[in-house]
Amino acid sequence: MPVDRPKSRNLYGYHPIIIPARNPLKGPRLPEPAILIEGVTKRFRDKTAVDRLDLEVPTGSLCGFLGPNGAGKTTTIRMVMSIFYPDEGRVSVLGRPSAIESKDRIGYLPEERGVYRKMKVGDFLAYMGQLKGLDAHGMAKRVDDWLARVGLPEVRKKKCEELSKGMQQKVQFVAAIMHDPELIILDEPFSGLDPVNARLMRSLMEDLHRRGKTIIFSTHVLHSAEQLCTRIFMINKGRKVLDGDIDQIRAQYDPKTIVVEPLENGDPRQAQARLASVPGVAGVMHSGAKGVYEVRLIDGADPAPTMAAIITAVPSRRVEVRRATLEDIFVHLVAPGDSEDVLREMLSERGTAAEVNADA
Amino acid sequence: MRKVFVAALREYRTTALTRSFFFGAVVFPIAIWGIMIAVAAFTKGERPPLTGSMAVVDPTPAGAIAEGIRARFDPQKLEAERQRRIKEIDAALDKSPVPLSPQQREIAKSQALAFFGLAKAWQVDVQTATPAEADAWREKVKTGAALALVEISEASVAVPPGAFQLFNTRKMDPDDLSAIREAATRSIVDERLRRASLDPVRVRDIMAAPPQAATATLTAEGVQKGGEALARILPFAFMFLLYLSAVIGGSYLLYSTLEEKSNRIMEVLLSAMSPTQLLAGKILGQGAVGLTVLIMYAGLGLLAARHFGVLHQIPLGALPWMLVFFLIAYAFQAALTAAVGSACAQITDAQALYAPVTMINILPFLVMVPVMENPGGLLPKVLTLTPVISPYVAIMRLGQPAHPVPLWELFAATLVGIAAVIAAVWLAAKIFRVGVLMYGKPPSILGLLKWASYR
Any A CB within 8 A of B341 CB:
no
What is residue A332's predicted lDDT score, i.e. its pLDDT? Answer: 67
What is residue A38's predicted lDDT score, i.e. its pLDDT? Answer: 92
The 3-state DSSP class for residue B13 equals: helix
Work out the end-to-end distance of chain A between its first and last CA atoms, rounded to an integer number of angstroms. Answer: 17
CA atoms within a 13 Å half-sphere pointing along the CA-CB vector of B207:
6
- A192-211 pLDDT, tens per residue? 888 888 888 899 999 999 99
The Cα diameter of chain B in Å comes to 95
Bridge partner list, A321: A258
Residue A326, pLDDT above cutoff 50: yes
- Which of A103, A131, A169, A355 is the mutation pick for testing B, counting most B CBs within 10 A? A131
The 3-state DSSP class for residue B135 equals: helix
Residue B167, pLDDT above cutoff 60: yes
B282 and B394 in one domain?
A: yes
* CA–CA distance, B421 with B324 (Å, rounded to integer): 13
- Which of A101, A130, A218 is the mutation pick for testing B, counting most B CBs within 10 A? A130
* Of the listed ranges A216-220, B120-124, B317-321, the one predicted with least confidence: B120-124
What is residue A22's predicted lDDT score, i.e. its pLDDT? Answer: 46
What is residue A305's predicted lDDT score, i.e. its pLDDT? Answer: 87
pLDDT class of A137 with cuts at 50, 70, 90: confident
Q: Look at B271 and A108 and tell me if their CB atoms are within 8 Å.
A: yes
**Which of B:5-34 have CB within 8 Å of A?**
6-7, 10, 14
**Which of B:269-328 have CB within 8 Å of A?**
269-274
Residue B120, pLDDT above cutoff 80: no
Strand pairing report for A106-109 and A183-187: parallel
B437 domain-assigned: yes
**Closest approach of chain B CAs to the CA of A122, in angstroms?**
14
- Which of B10, B13, B265 is the mutation pick for testing A, counting most A CBs within 10 A? B265
Q: Look at A110 and B271 and tell me if their CB atoms are within 8 Å.
A: yes
Q: Look at A103 and B273 and tell me if their CB atoms are within 8 Å.
A: yes
B254 and B195 in one domain?
A: no
* CA–CA distance, B242 with B298 (Å, rounded to integer): 10
Q: Look at B271 and A81 and tell me if their CB atoms are within 8 Å.
A: yes
Give the DSSP per-residue string, A147-167.
HHHTT-TT-TTSBGGGS-HHH
Across the interface, of B6, B274, B440, the residue whose CB is closest to A357 is B440
Helix (H) or strand (E) holding A234: strand A231-236
The domain containing residue B176 runs over which residues? 48-208
Residue B47, pLDDT above cutoff 70: no
Bridge partner list, B202: none
* CA–CA distance, A115 with A117 (Å, rounded to integer): 6
Residue A24, pLDDT above cutoff 60: no
More confident position, A92 or A7:
A92
Look at residues A235, A247, A233 and name the one whose alpha carbon lies nearest to residue A56.
A233
Q: Identify whether the C-beta of residue B314 lies closer than 8 Å to the C-beta of residue B305.
A: yes
pLDDT class of A125 with cuts at 50, 70, 90: very high
Q: Which of residues B147, B176, B208 is at a domain's end?
A: B208
**Looking at residues A257-280, what average pLDDT do you find?**
84
Q: Which sign, positive or negative, has the C-alpha torsion A194, A170, A101, B287?
A: negative
Q: What is the residue-averaged pLDDT of chain B?
A: 83
* CA–CA distance, B288 with B326 (Å, rounded to integer): 11
Any A CB within 8 A of B265 CB:
yes
Q: What is the residue-averaged pLDDT of chain A?
A: 79
Any A CB within 8 A of B68 CB:
no
B38 domain-assigned: no
**Closest approach of chain B CAs to the CA of A83, in angstroms?**
7
Q: Look at A131 and B273 and tell me if their CB atoms are within 8 Å.
A: yes
| A interface with B, Cβ–Cβ below 8 Å | 78, 81-83, 85, 87, 100, 103-104, 106, 108, 110-119, 127-128, 130-133, 172, 175-176, 353-358
- A30-87 pLDDT, tens per residue? 568 899 999 999 988 788 889 899 999 999 999 999 888 888 888 999 899 888 889 9
Q: Look at A358 and B273 and tell me if their CB atoms are within 8 Å.
A: no
B240 and B167 in one domain?
A: no
Q: Look at A116 and B259 and tell me if their CB atoms are within 8 Å.
A: yes
Q: Look at A114 and B443 and tell me if their CB atoms are within 8 Å.
A: no
Dihedral of the alpha carbons of B165, B166, B170, B174, in degrees to the nearest 10? -130
The alpha carbon of residue B107 and the mean position of all alpha carbons in its chain are separated, in whole angstroms, by 20
What is residue A346's predicted lDDT score, i.e. its pLDDT? Answer: 38
For A104, the closest chain B residue by CA position comes to: B272
Question: How many C-beta atoms lie closer than 10 Å to residue B415's C-beta?
Answer: 13
B262 and B155 in one domain?
A: no
Across the interface, of A113, A132, A354, the residue whose CB is closest to B440 is A354
pLDDT class of B202 with cuts at 50, 70, 90: confident
Confidence (pTM): 0.69
Any A CB within 8 A of B77 CB:
no
The 3-state DSSP class for residue B139 equals: helix
Q: Which residues of B touch A130 (CB under 8 A)?
A: 6
**Looking at residues B350-365, what average pLDDT do you find?**
86
Any A CB within 8 A of B443 CB:
yes
For A352, the closest chain B residue by CA position comes to: B441
Q: Identify whether the C-beta of residue B360 lies closer than 8 Å to the C-beta of residue B386.
A: no
Look at residues B16, B20, B39 and name the one whose alpha carbon lies nearest to residue B28.
B20
Dihedral of the alpha carbons of A325, A327, A328, A334, in degrees to the nearest 10? 150
Residue A27, pLDDT above cutoff 70: no
Q: Identify whether the C-beta of residue B186 lies closer than 8 Å to the C-beta of residue B72.
A: yes
What is residue A358's predicted lDDT score, i.e. its pLDDT? Answer: 36
Q: Look at A110 and B267 and tell me if their CB atoms are within 8 Å.
A: yes
Look at residues A321, A350, A328, A357 and name the one whose alpha carbon lies nearest to residue A66.
A328
Q: Which of residues B175, B208, B241 is at a domain's end?
A: B208
B382 and B280 in one domain?
A: yes
Q: Identify whether the C-beta of residue A86 lies closer than 8 Å to the C-beta of residue A359.
A: no
The 3-state DSSP class for residue B48 equals: strand
Q: Look at B272 and A176 and tell me if their CB atoms are within 8 Å.
A: no
Question: How many C-beta atoms lie closer than 10 Å to residue A97's C-beta?
Answer: 11
* Of the listed ranges A120-134, A335-349, B6-20, B400-414, the one predicted with least confidence: A335-349
What is residue B228's predicted lDDT score, i.e. its pLDDT? Answer: 67
Domains and CATH numbers, chain A: 31-237 (3.40.50.300), 255-323 (3.30.70.100)
Across the interface, of A83, A103, A131, the residue whose CB is closest to B437 is A83
The alpha carbon of residue A136 and the mean position of all alpha carbons in its chain are separated, in whole angstroms, by 35
Q: Which residues of B touch A85 (CB under 8 A)?
A: 455
Residue B198, pLDDT above cutoff 70: yes
Bridge partner list, B166: B150
* CA–CA distance, A77 with A67 (Å, rounded to integer): 13
Which of the 8 DSSP states describes residue A96? B
Q: Look at A358 and B268 and tell me if their CB atoms are within 8 Å.
A: no
More confident position, B409 or A298:
B409
Q: Per residue in B357-380, is it b (16+ CB within 10 Å) or e — as a string?
A: beeebeebeebbeebbeebeeeeb
Q: Per residue in A255-269, is it b (16+ CB within 10 Å) or e — as a string?
A: bbbbbbbbeeeeeee
Q: Which amino acid is at A177?
A: I
Q: Which residues of A touch B268 (CB under 8 A)?
A: 108, 110, 113-114, 128, 172, 175-176
Q: Look at B267 and A118 and tell me if their CB atoms are within 8 Å.
A: no
Across the interface, of A78, A87, A100, the residue whose CB is closest to B274 is A100
**Looking at residues B109-132, what average pLDDT do you find?**
79
B301 and B239 in one domain?
A: yes
* CA–CA distance, B74 with A354 (Å, rounded to integer): 75
* CA–CA distance, B207 with B166 (Å, rounded to integer): 27
B188 and B77 in one domain?
A: yes
Q: Look at A130 and B440 and tell me if their CB atoms are within 8 Å.
A: no
B298 and B191 in one domain?
A: no
Residue A351, pLDDT above cutoff 50: no
B418 domain-assigned: yes
Q: Compute the count of residue pairs across chains A and B with CB atoms less than 8 Å apart.
A: 81
What is residue A30's predicted lDDT score, i.e. its pLDDT? Answer: 53
Q: Which amino acid is at B449?
A: L
Across the interface, of B6, B264, B272, the residue whose CB is closest to A114 is B264
pLDDT class of A91 with cuts at 50, 70, 90: very high
For A184, the closest chain B residue by CA position comes to: B271
Q: Which residues of A touch B450 (CB under 8 A)?
A: none
Dihedral of the alpha carbons of A275, A278, A281, A286, in degrees to the nearest 10? 0
**Which ranges constitute the DSSP H helices of A153-219?**
165-177, 195-210
B238 and B134 in one domain?
A: no
**Looking at residues A118-129, what average pLDDT do you find?**
92
Across the interface, of B267, B272, B438, the residue whose CB is closest to A131 is B272
**Strand boundaries in B16-81, DSSP class E:** 47-57
Give the DSSP per-residue string, B122-181.
EEEEEEEE-GGGHHHHHHHHHHTSSSEEEE--HHHHSSSPPP-EEEE-TT--HHHHHHHH
pLDDT class of A8 with cuts at 50, 70, 90: very low
B314 and B391 in one domain?
A: yes
Residue B372, pLDDT above cutoff 60: yes
* CA–CA distance, A311 with A308 (Å, rounded to integer): 5
Residue B448: which residues within 8 A CB-CB, separation 6 or more?
Answer: B339, B340, B343, B353, B431, B435
Bridge partner list, A37: A55, A91
- B93-103 pLDDT, tens per residue? 887 766 777 77
* Of the listed ranges A138-152, B92-106, B180-194, the one predicted with least confidence: B92-106
Q: Which residues of B touch A104 (CB under 8 A)?
A: 272
The 3-state DSSP class for residue A41 equals: strand
**Closest approach of chain A CAs to the CA of B286, in angstroms?**
17
**Closest approach of chain A CAs to the CA of B296, in angstroms?**
26
CATH number, residue B184:
3.40.190
More confident position, B255 or A1:
B255
B153 domain-assigned: yes
Which range in A37-41, B36-40, B61-65, B271-275 is most confidently predicted, on average pLDDT?
A37-41
- Which of B268, B276, B436, B451 is the mutation pick for testing A, counting most A CBs within 10 A? B268
What is residue B353's predicted lDDT score, i.e. its pLDDT? Answer: 83
The alpha carbon of residue A240 and the mean position of all alpha carbons in its chain are separated, in whole angstroms, by 12
B75 and B169 in one domain?
A: yes
B325 domain-assigned: yes
Long-range contacts of B23-32 (CB under 8 A, 24+ apart): B25/B248, B25/B292, B25/B293, B25/B296, B26/B296
**Looking at residues A319-341, what average pLDDT do you find?**
68
The Cα diameter of chain A in Å comes to 77
B159 domain-assigned: yes
Strand pairing report for A214-218 and A62-66: parallel
B214 domain-assigned: no
Any A CB within 8 A of B268 CB:
yes
B41 domain-assigned: no
Any A CB within 8 A of B349 CB:
no
Q: Look at B268 and A113 and tell me if their CB atoms are within 8 Å.
A: yes
**Looking at residues A134-148, what average pLDDT do you find?**
90
* CA–CA distance, B245 with B129 (Å, rounded to integer): 62
Question: How many C-beta atoms lie closer than 10 Å to residue A354's C-beta?
Answer: 18
CA distances from A99 to A253, B26, B207, B270 (A): 35, 44, 83, 11
Q: Which residues of A touch B439 (CB under 8 A)?
A: 112, 354, 357-358
> How many independent structural domains does chain B possess?
2
B400 and B258 in one domain?
A: yes
